[in-house]
């Protein structure tokens, strides 16, 4: 069966510091991968998606970037965090256009 992992589970970072969140998927190959953000009391916003190694598409202009160095690894990064980057970050995977399955999420607080 397939599993998706995210770490860390929670993170508190000062403004201006760098960020690296990691997502890995097990039990499947060549998945589509997604990064979402959920601000407090809001719905989920799609940030990035990837259909293969090194292929990243951005949904909204922002302070964040994504990379996919390996088939089942998806990384969300920032060089300098802003207060507005606080939120709940979710990684998801799918087989092509099929159902997306979400990871447990990383809660980020920027102070």
Partner 1 sequence: DAKTTQPPSMDCAEGRAANLPCNHSTISGNEYVYWYRQIHSQGPQYIIHGLKNNETNEMASLIITEDRKSSTLILPHATLRDTAVYYCIVRIDRGSTLGRLYFGRGTQLTVWP
Residues in the chain, total: 111
Determine the Cα–Cα distance for residues 81 and 83; give it in Å rounded to an integer.
7
By C-beta, is 49 or 74 nearer to partner 1? 49
- Name 45's bridge partners: 37
Question: Which listed residue (32, 62, 65, 73) binds partner 1 by CB under 8 A?
Answer: 32
Q: Is 87 in the site for partner 1 (CB under 8 A)?
A: no
Question: Which listed residue (74, 76, 85, 103) binds partner 1 by CB under 8 A?
Answer: 103
Query: Strands 106-110, 87-94: parallel, antiparallel or unpaired by DSSP?
Result: antiparallel
Identify the CA nearest to 13 among candidates 83, 96, 92.
Answer: 83
By C-beta, is 44 or 65 nearer to partner 1? 44
Query: Footprint of partner 1 on this chain (CB under 8 A)?
Result: 32, 34, 36, 42-46, 49, 51, 57, 88, 90, 92, 94, 96-105, 107
């Amino acid at each position: 069966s397939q599993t998706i992992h995210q770490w860390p589970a929670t993170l508190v970072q000062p403004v201006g510091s760098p960020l690296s969140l990691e997502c890995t998927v097990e039990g499947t190959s060549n998945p589509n991968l997604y990064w979402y953000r959920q601000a407090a009391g809001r719905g989920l916003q799609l940030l990035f998606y990837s259909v293969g190694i090194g292929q990243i598409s951005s949904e909204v202009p922002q302070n964040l970037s994504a990379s996919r160095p390996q088939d089942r690894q998806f990384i969300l990064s920032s060089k300098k965090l802003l207060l507005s980057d606080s939120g709940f970050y979710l990684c998801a995977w799918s087989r092509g256009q099929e159902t997306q399955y979400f990871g447990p999420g990383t809660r980020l607080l920027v102070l």
